[in-house]
Amino acid sequence: MKRLLHALDPRNATQAWLALLVITVATAGIAVAERGVLPWVGWIIAALVWWKAWLVADHYLEVADAAPVFRRIVVAFISLAPVLLVVTAWMESR
């Protein structure tokens, strides 16, 4: 699993921007094509949103080089929207 995550990690800002573009298109495509069809689409969207937020935090905010307190605050903040998307998907599936 670590190898897969390392292989998917962009090496520079251009690759990160391209990854963000691809994830955005994928998220929009999944949301439009599968809306109302599959109950777990919200979970996939939440995972993609978290991945996008992590790419932005890692490559543009350079969270890895930040102080531990700031890093924890950023991780908590970028986890908030995906968690709320999962809760919304769970509430819709009930």
- Rounded Cα distance between 90 and 94, Å, is 7
- pLDDT for 37 equals 62
- The whole-number pLDDT of residue 2 equals 61
**Average per-residue pLDDT in the chain?**
83
Query: Is the confidence at residue 35, as pLDDT, over 70?
Result: no
Question: pLDDT confidence of 5, banded at 50, 70, 90?
Answer: low
Distance CA 40, CA 66 (A): 35
Q: Are 51 and 5 in contact (CB under 8 A)?
A: no
State the pLDDT confidence band at 1, using cuts at 50, 70 and 90: low
Cα separations in angstroms, 57 against 20, 62, 71: 12, 6, 9
pLDDT digits (tens, 9 = 90+) for 38-83: 667 878 888 898 999 999 998 888 888 889 999 999 989 998 988 9
Alpha carbons 35 and 41: distance in angstroms, whole number: 7
